[in-house]
Amino acid sequence: MIGRFFHPVWLLMAASGMSCASPFLPRGEKSAIRNPKSATPSWRSAIRNWHSALRIPHSAILNVAHRGVRSLAPENTLAALRKALQVGADGWEVDVHPTRDGRLVVIHDDTIDRTTNARKVFPDRKPWNVSDFTLDEIRSLDAGSWFGRDDPFGQIKAGAVSADEVKSYVGEKVPTLDEVLRFTRESGRLLDIEIKQMPRRYPDVVEKVAAAVTAERMEEQIIISCFDHTCVARIKSLNRKIMAGPISNDRVADPARYVKSVVRGDAWFASGQVVGTGSLAFAGSNTVAASYKAADLNVDDLRAVRKAGIGMFVWTINDEATMRGLIEAGVTGIVTDFPQRLASLSR
């Protein structure tokens, strides 16, 4: 899977031909980590030509699981990452916040009550901000049971998640960034770390994330993203080997110049609305038939970004028709809650 979807926005690592058991992978599953130096000619061709949207084969699309496979498992947990590996994702996106004692944990919200049992365990700690709890306190919480209760994407009801799987999620812990880094390294996949700086701002969180990636020597497997675009330039100043890019939920004038020259980024993470998937022509309506053509997207922006040597990632895309249109348009990758759907399109 990695070979087929290899792309130089993130590079693969480790020793050629080696396969090793990992405490983070399902029992019996082995990591398959490759050495970029031993890449096949087709991989080298993909690296050399990746910046040209017109020359990249459609099969080169990167399948990025949003918070893991959050449609099939509790988001931002190791269970969700294991599921992403199982369904064929090329990598995963996770969110990072610091704890009160300065540790980095993987959780989306700046509060812990939505995806854990914090209200029950710590009833007097409202509003349950991540940064108001120590790592030990957060690790004492159940970050899995809520998924079975809420069925956020209706996949339990649809039969896509078994009763045994739901039961296995009970007691799942909020992982640390270090755990996610090790899981990613052992699985031979790619990782997008979104640094959370809104609505709460955290001093030194950028430095801590950069230090964690550097300490694990995982620069080639990682890309860092953030809505606070100043974080991108800061990451590059700390370690220029770490790739980084801004996240946008609004149109950007001349995005290629903005990402490359203003924030010094390597990639642009744009919402589907920004690139045009929300237009009537693309999405359709009761009166306008959906066309799902690349021409309905902001193609000039997409091509300018790709030709400038910048990765073009679109989030969060869950329906197959929109995925097909973005693949046709030549985006670098799609961030999705349903990587299982994207994997089926890319086979």
Residue that the structure tokens 């996240």 belong to: 247
Phi/psi for 271 (5° steps) reads: -70, 160
Question: pLDDT value at position 80?
Answer: 98
| Cα 225 to Cα 214: distance, rounded to the nearest angstrom | 16
Question: pLDDT value at position 293?
Answer: 56
| Single pTM value for the model | 0.83
Average pLDDT over residues 290-305: 71
Which among 149, 143, 73, 157 is positioned nearest to 115, based on CA atoms?
A: 143
Catalytically active residues are 66, 108
pLDDT-wise least confident of 55-59, 102-106, 323-327, 335-339 = 55-59
Question: pLDDT value at position 197?
Answer: 85
Yes or no: say if 232 and 246 are a contact pair by the CB < 8 Å rule: yes
Domains and CATH numbers, the chain: 2-110+176-346 (3.20.20.190)
CA dist 132 → 46, 96, 100, 201 (Å): 46, 15, 5, 13
Question: What is the DSSP pairing of strand 190-195 with strand 104-106?
Answer: unpaired
Q: 333, exposed or middle or buried, with CB in 10 Å at 0-12, 13-18, 19+?
A: buried
Identify which has the larger pLDDT, 95 or 22. 95
Q: How far is CA 134 from the centre of its chain?
A: 25
CA dist 295 → 43, 278, 292 (Å): 29, 13, 8
With a pLDDT cut of 70, the percent of the chain lying above it is 77
- pLDDT tens digit string along 220-270? 899 999 999 999 999 999 999 999 999 999 888 899 999 999 999 999 999
Yes or no: say if 270 and 320 are a contact pair by the CB < 8 Å rule: no
211 Cβ contact list (under 8 Å, min separation 6): none
| Cα 30 to Cα 230: distance, rounded to the nearest angstrom | 38
Radius of gyration over alpha carbons of the chain, in Å?
20
Is residue 35 scored above 60 in pLDDT? no
Instruction: Write the single-letter amino acid at 342.
Output: L
- pLDDT tens digit string along 269-287? 999 988 888 665 555 555 4
Q: How does DSSP assign 77-90, residue by residue?
A: SHHHHHHHHHHT-S
Q: How confident is the model at residue 190 (pLDDT cuts 50, 70, 90)?
A: very high
Between the two ends of the chain, the Cα-to-Cα distance in Å is 9
Average pLDDT over residues 298-310: 86
Count of Cβ atoms closer than 10 Å to residue 179 Cβ? 17
